[in-house]
Amino acid sequence: MSKSKHSLDHPLVRPRRLRQTPAMRRLVAETRLSPAQLVLPMFVREGITEAVPLGSMPGIVQHSLESLPKALAEAADAGIGGVMLFGIPETKDAVGSQATDENGILNLATAVAQREVGGELVVQTDLCLDEFTDHGHCGVLDKKGVVDNDATLGRYREMALMQARSGSQLLGLSGMMDGQVAAVRDELDANGFEHVVLLAYAAKYASAFYGPFREAVQSTLQGDRRSYQLDPANRREGLREVELDIAEGADVVMVKPAMSYLDVLADTAATSTVPVWAYQVSGEYAMIEAAGANGWIDRDRAVAESLTSIVRAGADAVLTYYATEVATWIRQGRI
So which residues are the catalytic ones?
204, 256
Classify residue 176 by its DSSP letter: -
Cα separation, 307 vs 326, in Å, equals 9
Whether a cis peptide bond, with omega within 30° of 0, leads into 257 is yes
DSSP 128-174: -STTTBSS--SS-B-TTS-B-HHHHHHHHHHHHHHHHHHT-SEEEE-
Q: How far from each other are the two terminal CA atoms of the chain, in whole angstroms? A: 45
Residue 155 sits at φ, ψ, to 5 deg, of -70, -40
Cα separation, 287 vs 296, in Å, equals 11
Cα separation, 112 vs 69, in Å, equals 7
CA-based radius of gyration for the chain? 22
3-state secondary structure 266-302: HHHHHHCCCCEEEECCHHHHHHHHHHHHCCCCCHHHH
Return the closest-CA partner of residue 275 out of 170, 195, 125. Answer: 170
